[in-house]
Structure 1
Amino acid sequence: MTTLPSDAVHASIAELVRAYLAADYRWQHGGDWHDLQIGLQAPALELLYPDHGTFGMLSAWNPRSVECAESVNREADRALRDDLAATGLPFLPAFGSAFDRSWREPGWMVIGLTLDKFDALSRKYGQLGTVWWTYGQPGRLRVDASRPAEFGNDEHVDWLRASPADG
């Protein structure tokens, strides 16, 4: 197995994060698909679930954004769905994709989960990026990596690992 130099890993992460920020995010309710965007609130979710306070979108597909066989992804998705069902909280079908649909990843919108439990599920399924909304606040991209120095700051990105660039 070849190990990439740290600057190549950081460049790859920066590229992936840019793709996540530009992605199209949607969730389904009552047979209709609804748009979401990082940096904007989630008014339809807030109207449907006014007493839950948080909304998180995550997937079990392609851990660390490394493409896996469809059968592997579907099995991981079933396990995530079972974990979400065990919380007793509402969750809905969702997906993230490139605007040109050159890639698309199914996932779930979970309503009312605490941030620590959401992050734990994300780590369990090896996700590099997830999206999180708190009632009345803009959506945030949560990245399970350190911020590459060349990436700069983005007010809607939470880097979950300490970075040399952060001092």
Structure 2
Amino acid sequence: MDWQAALIAGLGLPALATVVGLAWKARTGRVRAVPASAGQATGPVVANAAAAAARSSSAAALGLVDADLGADATLVQFSTEYCSRCPATARQLGEIADDYAGVRHVEIDLTHRADLADRFHVRQTPTTLILRADGTTTARIGGVPRLAAVRTQLETLIGSPHVAS
């Protein structure tokens, strides 16, 4: 290998790795909206039958029952035994859920649940889903969530600022 090719490789590979790393970091922790599928409720659910039908999507696939879900929203955190950032994320999401009336935090361990990881396309932990009151997914966060963004999403979803309990 001549010195020019070595110089290009020596400078080009670290530059490429830096660009990829910065792009990954910018994407991690951001709230991504999940569009409502046709037939899913997008607003407040008035009828119990409509609520029961809508809950059959994300919440049912996760194995969550009505008692697990918040009255207004649910923060579902996917974790694993080996995730070093998951315990701190669970504490933070739990604190956020406690700040809002009608919001619950549920943590699901994916260590031995590859079926759920595949079904919900979890590629990293923590991954957080924000579910509407009807149990359908409204937003997704890959990586450690940006807490201000989670609060903004909840306030948009439930239509009111947080209320300390």
Q: TM-score, structure 1 length as denominator?
A: 0.30
The structure richer in strand per residue is: 1
**Which structure is richer in relative contact order (CA contacts within 8 A, separation 6 or more)?**
2
The structure richer in helix per residue is: 2
Q: TM-score, structure 2 length as denominator?
A: 0.30
